[in-house]
């Protein structure tokens, strides 16, 4: 929920007040909240395939380290650096790859429309900006749509019954037994 609300508030600020001086500073704060929320999600999410789970956590770590390095080595706030130097997406994009992995997992497990849309939308937005193939207007539409769908996803997770979300824990025992065999 923290990651979704941080992402949505950041998107709102960019779309509504993009040229105001306070926006880049606010985006830095919101990015930290987004990253922390995503970290908690990646620590607590139930993914039966341990290598996939560890890969998503590693992607989060790479993206976070890249964001810190970019923030420390550039004079502009992080969001402006990423916007003006799309090549930085090759580092920070890993955190969004982790997020996309969660959306993919949720699509596979729960067949939700919003995650079906978010799974390709996030990479399309990032890669489209990286390669300069999207107009600013289309980037804004995709950003707004992504923010709305992310909040819908978070709200639906908040009211989802816990047993189906946790799943069948016997799968973990079975997978552990298979690894030993």
Q: What is the pLDDT of residue 46?
A: 85
Distance separating alpha carbons of residues 168 and 21, to the nearest angstrom: 49
Residue indicated by tokens 């880049």: 24
Q: What is the pLDDT of residue 48?
A: 83
Write out pLDDT tens, residues 104-131: 999 988 889 999 999 999 999 999 999 9
Give the pLDDT mean for 142-146. Answer: 98
Helix (H) or strand (E) holding 118: helix 113-130
169: Cβ contacts below 8 Å, ≥ 6 apart: none
Q: What is the pLDDT of residue 19?
A: 87
Write out pLDDT tens, residues 84-98: 999 999 999 999 999
Exposed/middle/buried for 140, CB within 10 Å: 0-12, 13-18, 19+? middle
63: Cβ contacts below 8 Å, ≥ 6 apart: 35, 91, 92, 93, 94, 95, 96, 97, 98
Helix (H) or strand (E) holding 12: helix 2-17
**pTM of the predicted protein model:** 0.88
Provide the residue ranges of all domains of the chain, joining segments of one domain with +: 2-180
């Amino acid at each position: 929920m923290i990651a979704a609300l941080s992402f949505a508030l950041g998107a709102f600020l960019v779309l509504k007040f993009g040229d105001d001086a306070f926006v880049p500073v606010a985006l830095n704060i919101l990015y930290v909240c987004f990253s922390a929320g995503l970290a908690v999600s990646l620590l607590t999410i139930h993914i039966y395939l341990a290598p996939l789970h560890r890969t998503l956590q590693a992607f989060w770590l790479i993206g976070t380290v890249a964001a810190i390095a970019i923030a420390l080595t550039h004079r502009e706030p992080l969001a402006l650096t990423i916007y003006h130097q799309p090549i930085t997406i090759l580092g920070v994009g890993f955190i969004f790859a982790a997020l996309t992995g969660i959306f993919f997992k949720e699509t596979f497990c729960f067949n939700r429309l919003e995650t079906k849309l978010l799974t390709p939308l996030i990479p399309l937005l990032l890669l489209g900006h990286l390669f300069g193939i999207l107009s600013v207007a289309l980037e804004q539409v995709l950003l707004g749509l992504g923010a709305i769908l992310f909040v819908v996803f978070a709200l639906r997770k908040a009211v989802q019954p816990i047993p189906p979300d946790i799943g069948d824990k016997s799968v973990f025992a079975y997978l552990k037994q298979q690894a030993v065999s």
